[in-house]
């Protein structure tokens, strides 16, 4: 009878010979016995971790599928992109994204593998938003889930689903290396005529350059500021680097409007969004910064004057999503902002016509607004 390591080695070899796209990527992973917290198999993009007792419960075909499963997590950058999102939900969302791909490629997955037709073709970010919204709806009022896997560092799966993804040791380096590796594996598979059907679009998605949403946000606001550049006040963001650039000082800039979709899907990113808006407000010095809490209606409006910290004590709303109310509020109140930034998951009904002022949609999903400019915060 083969040992666990021999079975894992044989499965890796089978991937190289019969599924060269996945095999080329599998060769990047060192095979190591898992720490106690990994209940099945897992990867951080550097190693394939295995629980010996779990491996005994799967047959050789399922072990092959698990190898491919683990390879696809870093191939799709699941190990570098979790940020502050819930580890267990992130694992589930990643599984729902990659498992249908593996089934279509002819792999057999163990019992308990997460597959749901409603998530076919959706990105991990979109799936996560759905799972998070559903979890919030199911959670009892005033209740909680206890500590759970909140401290698991991205390794908990929940529900016994096989195959896990852990956070990468070095996020930016690992992301860049895996983008190159996926391209190389795809080119090899094409040369050998063994590229799985439908994988071309998946490879394109996995290797797409990430957009720095903060840079887009800053550029958008500055383009719409009536700015006066002053060398008397150097830009503090660059002084530490020994670079002296003029500070933007504007006495003319109208208010900046921030519309925040307060549905559950934006909960994890509101903090860094507001922090970035605080930084921009300090640079551009608008007359005021408005924060409009909205779901299916405007729930609350807070106005922060020039120089006042944007300090949100409590968010209001958390219902369904419509995009009309904030724009209607601005028109009703006669407020003409320099620009508006709308943080949302994009799942709602858009107004047919844009307002007279520029709008930047900061999405937590892959949704693209029908007008205005769109950037994805998750990337």
Residues of the chain with pLDDT > 90: what percent?
45
User: Is the pTM value of this prediction over 0.75?
Assistant: no
What DSSP character marks residue 377? T
pLDDT digits (tens, 9 = 90+) for 347-363: 888 999 999 999 999 99
User: Distance from first CA to last CA of the chain, Å, rounded?
Assistant: 46
Sheet with 47-50, strands from edge to edge, namely 30-33, 47-50, 41-43, 164-165
pLDDT digits (tens, 9 = 90+) for 21-64: 999 999 999 999 998 888 999 999 999 999 999 999 999 999 99
Residue with tokens 């921009």: 280
Higher pLDDT, 245 or 288: 288
* Phi and psi angles of residue 199, each rounded to the nearest 5 degrees, phi first: -80, -20
Residue 83's pLDDT band (cuts 50, 70, 90): confident
Rounded Cα gap, residues 314 and 322, in angstroms: 21
Average pLDDT over residues 220-230: 67
Q: What pLDDT, on a 0 to 100 scale, did the predictor assign at position 65?
A: 96
Rounded Cα gap, residues 27 and 60, in angstroms: 18
Helix 199-206 vs helix 171-191: angle between axes, to the nearest 10 degrees?
Answer: 150
Is residue 147 pLDDT above 70, yes or no?
Answer: no
Q: Are 38 and 134 in contact, with CB atoms under 8 Å apart?
A: no
Question: In residues, how long is the chain?
Answer: 379
Average pLDDT over residues 249-262: 81
Q: What pLDDT, on a 0 to 100 scale, did the predictor assign at position 301?
A: 96
What DSSP character marks residue 354? -
Q: Are 24 and 16 in contact, with CB atoms under 8 Å apart?
A: yes
Cβ-based burial of 144 (10 A; exposed 0-12, middle 13-18, buried ≥19): exposed
3-state secondary structure 8-64: HHHHHHHHHHHCHHHHHHHCCCEEEECCCCCCCEEECCCEEEECHHHHCCCCHHHHH
Q: Are 308 and 302 in contact, with CB atoms under 8 Å apart?
A: no
Q: Are 109 and 41 in contact, with CB atoms under 8 Å apart?
A: no
* Phi and psi angles of residue 367, each rounded to the nearest 5 degrees, phi first: -65, 140
Which of 62-71, 122-131, 292-301, 341-350 is predicted least confidently? 122-131
Rounded Cα gap, residues 93 and 152, in angstroms: 16
Rounded Cα gap, residues 252 and 60, in angstroms: 69
Is residue 3 pLDDT above 50, yes or no?
Answer: yes
Q: For residue 193, how far is the Cα from the chain centroid? A: 33
Which of 54-68, 99-113, 216-230 is predicted least confidently? 216-230
pLDDT digits (tens, 9 = 90+) for 317-330: 776 788 999 999 99
Q: Are 306 and 285 in contact, with CB atoms under 8 Å apart?
A: yes
For the chain, the maximum distance between any two Cα atoms, rounded to a whole number of angstroms, is 79
Q: What pLDDT, on a 0 to 100 scale, did the predictor assign at position 365?
A: 83
Rounded Cα gap, residues 278 and 155, in angstroms: 33
Helices in 139-235 by DSSP H: which ranges?
A: 171-191, 199-206, 213-223
Cβ-based burial of 34 (10 A; exposed 0-12, middle 13-18, buried ≥19): buried
Is residue 186 pLDDT above 70, yes or no?
Answer: yes
Q: For residue 236, how far is the Cα from the chain centroid? A: 30
- Separate counts of helices (H) and strands (E) for the chain: 12, 12
Helix%, strand%, coil% for the chain, nearest 5: 40, 15, 45
Which of 211-215, 233-237, 251-255 is predicted least confidently? 233-237
Rounded Cα gap, residues 138 and 157, in angstroms: 19
Helix 87-104 vs helix 60-75: angle between axes, to the nearest 10 degrees?
Answer: 120
Q: What pLDDT, on a 0 to 100 scale, did the predictor assign at position 152?
A: 40
Q: What pLDDT, on a 0 to 100 scale, did the predictor assign at position 378?
A: 57
């Amino acid at each position: 009878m083969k040992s666990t390591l021999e079975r894992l080695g044989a499965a890796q070899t089978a991937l190289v010979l019969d599924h060269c796209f996945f095999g080329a990527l599998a060769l990047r992973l060192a095979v190591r016995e898992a720490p106690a917290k990994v209940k099945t198999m897992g990867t951080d993009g550097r190693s394939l971790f295995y629980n010996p007792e779990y491996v005994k419960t799967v047959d050789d075909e399922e072990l092959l599928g698990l190898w491919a499963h683990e390879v696809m997590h870093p191939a799709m950058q699941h190990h570098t992109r979790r940020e502050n999102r819930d580890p267990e939900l992130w694992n589930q969302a990643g599984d729902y994204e990659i498992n249908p791909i593996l089934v279509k490629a002819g792999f057999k997955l163990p019992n308990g593998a997460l597959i749901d037709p409603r998530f076919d073709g959706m990105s991990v970010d979109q799936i996560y938003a759905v799972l998070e919204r559903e979890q919030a709806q199911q959670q009892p009022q005033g209740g909680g889930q206890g500590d759970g896997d909140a401290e698991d560092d991205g390794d908990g799966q929940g529900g016994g689903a096989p195959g896990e993804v852990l956070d990468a040791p070095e996020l930016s380096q690992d992301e860049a290396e895996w983008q190159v590796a996926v391209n190389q594996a795809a080119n090899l598979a094409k040369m050998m005529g063994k590229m799985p059907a439908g994988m071309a679009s998946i490879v394109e998605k996995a290797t797409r350059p990430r957009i720095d949403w903060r840079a887009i946000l800053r550029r958008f606001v500055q383009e719409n500021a009536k700015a006066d550049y002053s060398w008397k006040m150097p830009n503090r963001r660059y002084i530490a680097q020994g670079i002296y650039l003029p500070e933007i000082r504007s006495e003319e800039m109208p208010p900046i409007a921030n519309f925040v979709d307060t549905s559950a899907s934006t909960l994890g990113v509101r903090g860094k969004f507001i922090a970035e808006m605080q930084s921009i407000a300090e640079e551009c010095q608008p007359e005021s910064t408005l924060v409009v809490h909205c779901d299916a209606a405007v729930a609350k409006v807070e106005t922060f004057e020039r120089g006042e910290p944007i300090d949100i004590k409590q968010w209001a709303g958390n219902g369904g999503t419509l995009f009309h109310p904030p724009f209607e509020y601005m028109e009703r109140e006669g407020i003409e902002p320099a620009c508006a930034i709308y943080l949302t998951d994009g799942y709602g009904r858009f107004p047919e016509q844009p307002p007279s002022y520029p709008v930047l949609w900061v999405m937590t999903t892959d949704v693209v607004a029908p007008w205005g400019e769109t950037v994805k915060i998750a990337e």
